[in-house]
Amino acid sequence: QQPVQSPQAVILREGEDAVINCSSSKALYSVHWYRQKHGEAPVFLMILLKGGEQKGHEKISASFNEKKQQSSLYLTASQLSYSGTYFCGTEIHPGTYKYIFGTGTRLKVLA
Partner 1 sequence: SQTIHQWPATLVQPVGSPLSLECTVEGTSNPNLYWYRQAAGRGLQLLFYSVGIGQISSEVPQNLSASRPQDRQFILSSKKLLLSDSGFYLCAWSAPRGKNTEAFFGQGTRLTVV
- The candidate with the shortest Cα–Cα distance to 59, out of 81, 77, 83, 35, is 77
Cβ neighbours for 32, distance < 8 A, ≥ 6 positions apart: 44, 45, 46, 47, 48, 88, 89, 90
The least distance separating partner 1 from the CB of residue 88, rounded to whole angstroms, comes to: 10
Residue from 37, 44, 57, 81 in contact with partner 1 (CB under 8 A): 44
* Helix, coil or strand: residue 47: strand
Q: Is residue 19 part of the contact set for partner 1 (CB under 8 A)?
A: no
Member of 6, 19, 21, 47 binding partner 1 (CB under 8 A): 47
- Is 84 among the residues that bind partner 1 (CB under 8 A)? no
Q: Is 101 in the site for partner 1 (CB under 8 A)?
A: yes
Is position 89 an interface residue for partner 1 (rule: CB under 8 A)?
yes
